[in-house]
Structure 1
Amino acid sequence: MLKSLRAKIFSSFMLLVLMLVIAGIMSIIEFNKVGVSIKNVMDDNYKSIEQTKQMLDALEREDSGLLMYLMGNREMGSQTINTAYSAIQDAIKIAQNNITEKDEDKYIHNIIKKYEEFHTSVKQTTDTSEQLTLEEKNEIYLQNQQLFFSAKKAINELMQLNQEGVYKQTNTMKENSKRAMMPAIVSIVAAIVFALLLNFFISEYFIRPINRLIDGVKSFYPEKG
């Protein structure tokens, strides 16, 4: 009887341990799924943000190249403009192959449009700069600045879109983490309830009958009490 009782108690506690192990495994699996999916999306967002930084840097260099050209340093200015053009084209191609946010392709299309307007104006200015007076050069440069800021705004809008995407993914990660914890919480609560019920049944159906049996024996054999 005692062996049977021990076996039942042991089996009950093993079931309790099994419930907790299952809860832990389920939570680990869910956390792993959340971590992998969020990491992939956030990596893409950070990649897009990095490309917008490259675009801004190239845009700034092209503007500087135009200024150098107008000031008479044509060789260095032309080289800077061409290098910046290649850099921004490369960054745009990478961004086009790394779309993660809704309507991101429209933002990139807007960048292409605004940048082409700026770059076309830059090339036209360098091609005709020999016939321009200093005053005309200053006026044209100021006109180019409007196109420059328009292109810069388009790039910043794409950067902001991806920064907001990172923020949303961070919030999503928090929510998914909470959901990943639910199986563990439910299982732990169930295990606690099970432990309380187990304690009640052991006390009610095993301990008390044994105590009554002992008390009965003592009443028949008071000298052994």
Structure 2
Amino acid sequence: MKPIKAIYVDDEAPALELIKKYCTDMPEIELMDVFLNPTEALNYPHLAAVELLILDIEMPGLSGTDLLASVPKGKLCIFITADPTYAAKAFDLDVIDYLVKPVFPERFKKAVQKAIDYSKFTAPDAAQLYLTFKSDYKLNKVLLDDIQWIEGFREYIKIVTRFKQYLVLQRLSDFISKNEELGFVRIHKSYIVIKKDIASISTQGVQLKSGKQLPIGRTYRDLLK
């Protein structure tokens, strides 16, 4: 597998030099560039090719969390900071890892390997389609064909498959906006299904090919006609 392409942003020059040294000893990572100024990183002309962001959190002008929110979605992130109190916020942002300075080489290598493993796990499969999500502190990869329906509960969704149910911290509206291209459709304020799994639609609800009957909202019924 090709090395994961990364940049590192930190307003402390010694930290930049240390991580650069670590990366030269790791063939599995290609450190494309480093930046003392986060704004320069945001304007990096090769940003589209970057797969992994290694970011300090506390920086003047633009924090690491702000920088992460400003780049195109889909990039992996490792936070490196001197302040451990940011850990909870970092993991809320769904980052790969959170390292507290001083960072030692083995700990850095472990964080990079997490990013590589995540990238492999979520890579698209040419033969089959998968849905990847976090539940129970684990990364799960479920065949799309095994998913029966998805139900919303305020800040959470329940993904119901043929074999197991998963509780995921995500709003139903966020799920559909992210995964609509996979064939998911909303049939009710609380339910999402895969469109090809719908057997019939009536005023009473949606009948799935599995035989399961789910409620349907009037607005969504009109859209599905």
TM range (shorter): under 0.3
- Going by fraction, where is helix more abundant, 1 or 2? 1
- Going by fraction, where is strand more abundant, 1 or 2? 2
TM-score, normalised on structure 1?
0.20
TM-score, normalised on structure 2?
0.20
